[in-house]
Amino acid sequence: MKSRDRFQEIIRVFISYGFGYLIDSKFNNSKKSPINLRMALEELGPTFIKIGQILSTRPDLLPEEYINELIKLQDSAPEESFENIKSVFEESINKKIYDCFLYFSKKPTASASIAQVHEAILNDGRAVIVKIQRPNIYNTMKTDIDIIKKIIKLSKGRIDIDIVDPLAVIEELESTTEKELDFIDESKSIVKFRENNENISPIYAPDVISSLCSEKVLTLEYINGFKINDMKMIEKKGYSNKDIAKKLALSYCKQIFDDGFFHGDPHPGNLLISNGRICFIDFGITGELDEGLKNWLNKAMIAVATGDKNKIVDFILAIGIKRGKVNKGNLYEDVSYLFTTYLNTSLKNIKIAVLLEEMFSIVKNNNIQFPKELAILFRGLVILEGVIAEVDPQLDIISVITSFVKGKNKMLLIKDINEEELVLSAYSFFRDASRIPSKAVEALSSISDGRAKINFNITDLENSVDHISNMVNRLVGALLISSLIIASSLIISNNVGPIYKGISLMGIAGYIISAIFAIFLLIAVVRDGGFRSKKKKRKS
């Protein structure tokens, strides 16, 4: 179809579903609805279905009602002829298809808008699946995206579904779509996931047959398994649904907080149980987090668990993209409302979907936008919560995440616990202990900024001077102890020698000396009558 004819077809479909106002103001938008948008995208074919699916992963760009509707998009298409698929394979791999396989199924096991999947057997006898792109799909999608850009320019600001910059969004979607059309990129994602989990026996991803991969062809190990939410098969195989749910939650925690590389679409169709392992498949959508973002996510989860509103505000301001003037006071009020309404309860009662929906609403109302990777992560967490609710409704996923962040559950993913677990636990304890002085530093910062006030009444000037002198001495002692703890923590984190089983003995010695000083300080407080002031008042 010529570009001009395709342009007219797209315009006709949008008008028929109530979106004609985007082109001309003479059309009203009374018929506009999320359902109409989904139906229009389905009718317009592969490019629009793929764009709709990508948009469904971006709650930072669209309101919830649109996200929920676009998730329903069915990515299916009529089968491409075997001759056409065979030609794509042979041109891309530069080999005859039957020279590569003992057997190749002419009928696809799945047929989607971009590619279709065929089962095959390699010459060495291994069963594989081969994902092959449809002919000319790249050119078709490029033409459609160019037309969408023209429509956006014609709309002249009439798009009113709360997208920040429609043209910028389409350009970002174009980049994402091109990435999905490059199967080499997907194969690299699978290899990276396998490397990250090579020592995690319950977690698996299919092996990549790299010699039979290209931009248009992806050949992978065939996984013979069943969907993770197939409770009948779980029972039949004698697996524990609670164990599966816990392992899945911990795996996703590891992907986020340890690896900084995560599967972006963990729905049941992409999670199979095979040979006692959870197998992740379809790596078309993945996300990566840099060290800074990982650290902020760690802090944010602890803040949720401890009810620290200031840390959540800091998190939003640190990682958010400012799209206008931001009033920190208003942001704090919105976060306070979030805590009062949704977080003033036990962690097990918190729903990730509801919490994140409110979080996105808060950032939008305060002219802030989360980065793309975080939006993909949040959507992945919402999907994961739904899967876990099916497999084990009793599992408290928020508690699993916060416990993992605190370093309590990392060892559960490893099948065989080795003799060094005690040393690793000790290291985790000392690492957590290093955070103790942070509150003292925060208090001192408040004093230096003039935000903290100390109120007291002087009733006996001579005694008060002595008391103030004692207070100063204790404060100095406390600061010295805090400094020693911080120094010891730095020594441990940098592995300053001598080292025993991976732990710095100098750092441990610093902790011990700090503890001794703390005991002496406590004795001094008691000796000076630090706990008897109330008794004296009663006598008077």
Provide the percentage of residues in the chain whose pLDDT is more than 70.
77
Are 331 and 366 in contact, with CB atoms under 8 Å apart?
yes
Question: Confidence band (pLDDT; 50, 70, 90) for 467?
Answer: low
Least confident range from 25-39, 320-334, 419-433: namely 419-433
Q: Is residue 445 part of a domain?
A: no
Q: Averaged over 156-167, what is the pLDDT?
A: 59
Q: Do residue 119 and residue 91 come from a single domain?
A: yes
456 versus 262: the higher-pLDDT residue is 262
Q: Is residue 387 part of a domain?
A: yes
Q: Is residue 373 part of a domain?
A: yes
Q: Is residue 127 part of a domain?
A: yes
Count other Cβ atoms within 10 Å, centred on residue 423. Answer: 14
Q: Do residue 67 and residue 95 come from a single domain?
A: no
| pLDDT (0 to 100) of residue 452 | 47
In the sheet where 226-227 sits, what is the strand order? 203-204, 277-280, 271-274, 226-227
Question: Confidence band (pLDDT; 50, 70, 90) for 156?
Answer: low
Q: In the chain, what is the straight-line distance between the N-terminal and C-terminal CA atoms, in Å?
A: 98
Number of domains within the chain: 4
Residue 400 has φ and ψ, to the nearest 5°, of -60, -45
Q: Do residue 299 and residue 359 come from a single domain?
A: yes
- Look up residue 296 and give its two tokens: 């902020």
74 versus 175: the higher-pLDDT residue is 175
Instruction: Tell me the CA distances in angstroms from 6 to 141, 175, 222, 482, one per residue in order.
Output: 11, 22, 38, 69
17 versus 277: the higher-pLDDT residue is 277
Q: Averaged over 490-512, what is the pLDDT?
A: 72
375/372 Cα distance (integer angstroms): 5
CA torsion angle for 147, 152, 155, 156 (degrees, to 10)? Answer: -130
253/398 Cα distance (integer angstroms): 11
Q: Do residue 193 and residue 147 come from a single domain?
A: no
Q: Do residue 208 and residue 295 come from a single domain?
A: no
What value does the mean pLDDT of the chain take?
Answer: 80
Q: Do residue 354 and residue 301 come from a single domain?
A: yes
Are 305 and 347 in contact, with CB atoms under 8 Å apart?
yes
Averaging pLDDT over each range in 1-5, 158-162, 204-208, 289-293, which range is the top one? 204-208
| pLDDT (0 to 100) of residue 57 | 74
| pLDDT (0 to 100) of residue 282 | 92
460/502 Cα distance (integer angstroms): 55
Q: Do residue 188 and residue 122 come from a single domain?
A: yes
| pLDDT (0 to 100) of residue 408 | 46
| pLDDT (0 to 100) of residue 122 | 97
- Give the domain extent around 356: 287-422
287/373 Cα distance (integer angstroms): 6
Provide the percentage of residues in the chain whose pLDDT is more than 90.
34
Q: Averaged over 434-441, what is the pLDDT?
A: 51
479 versus 200: the higher-pLDDT residue is 200
| pLDDT (0 to 100) of residue 456 | 47
Q: Averaged over 308-322, what is the pLDDT?
A: 90
For residue 21, pLDDT over 60 is answered with: yes
For residue 259, pLDDT over 50 is answered with: yes
**Per residue in 170-190, pLDDT tens?**
877 788 788 888 999 999 999
For residue 446, pLDDT over 60 is answered with: no
Q: Averaged over 210-217, what is the pLDDT?
A: 96
Q: Do residue 27 and residue 163 come from a single domain?
A: yes
For residue 427, pLDDT over 70 is answered with: no
| pLDDT (0 to 100) of residue 528 | 66
Question: Confidence band (pLDDT; 50, 70, 90) for 160?
Answer: low
Q: Is residue 402 part of a domain?
A: yes
- Look up residue 136 and give its two tokens: 């000319």
| pLDDT (0 to 100) of residue 420 | 41
| pLDDT (0 to 100) of residue 27 | 53
Q: Is residue 183 part of a domain?
A: yes
Q: Do residue 63 and residue 50 come from a single domain?
A: yes
- Look up residue 441 and give its two tokens: 């530093």
Q: Averaged over 62-81, what is the pLDDT?
A: 81
| pLDDT (0 to 100) of residue 376 | 87
Question: Confidence band (pLDDT; 50, 70, 90) for 92?
Answer: very high
Q: Is residue 173 part of a domain?
A: yes
Least confident range from 49-63, 284-298, 330-344, 373-387: namely 49-63
Give the number of C-alpha atoms closer than 13 A to the C-alpha of residue 38, restricted to the C-beta side. 16
Q: Averaged over 347-372, what is the pLDDT?
A: 83
Q: Do residue 165 and residue 54 come from a single domain?
A: yes
For residue 222, pLDDT over 60 is answered with: yes
Count the residues in the chain.
Answer: 540
240 versus 151: the higher-pLDDT residue is 240
Averaging pLDDT over each range in 277-281, 365-369, 466-470, 500-504, which range is the top one? 277-281
**Per residue in 235-258, pLDDT tens?**
999 999 999 999 999 999 999 999
Q: Do residue 474 and residue 499 come from a single domain?
A: yes
| pLDDT (0 to 100) of residue 422 | 40
37/24 Cα distance (integer angstroms): 17
Question: Confidence band (pLDDT; 50, 70, 90) for 421?
Answer: very low
Instruction: Tell me the CA distances in angstroms from 255 to 60, 81, 95, 294, 402, one per residue in order.
Output: 22, 39, 37, 11, 14
Helices and strands, number each (H, E), in the chain: 22, 15
Question: Confidence band (pLDDT; 50, 70, 90) for 534?
Answer: very low
286/264 Cα distance (integer angstroms): 4
Question: Confidence band (pLDDT; 50, 70, 90) for 113?
Answer: confident
Q: Is residue 418 part of a domain?
A: yes
For residue 71, pLDDT over 90 is answered with: no
For residue 352, pLDDT over 50 is answered with: yes
CATH code for the domain in which residue 121 is found: 3.30.200.20
Q: Do residue 147 and residue 7 come from a single domain?
A: yes
Q: Write the CB contacts of 154 (distance below 8 Å, at least 6 apart in sequence).
A: 22, 23
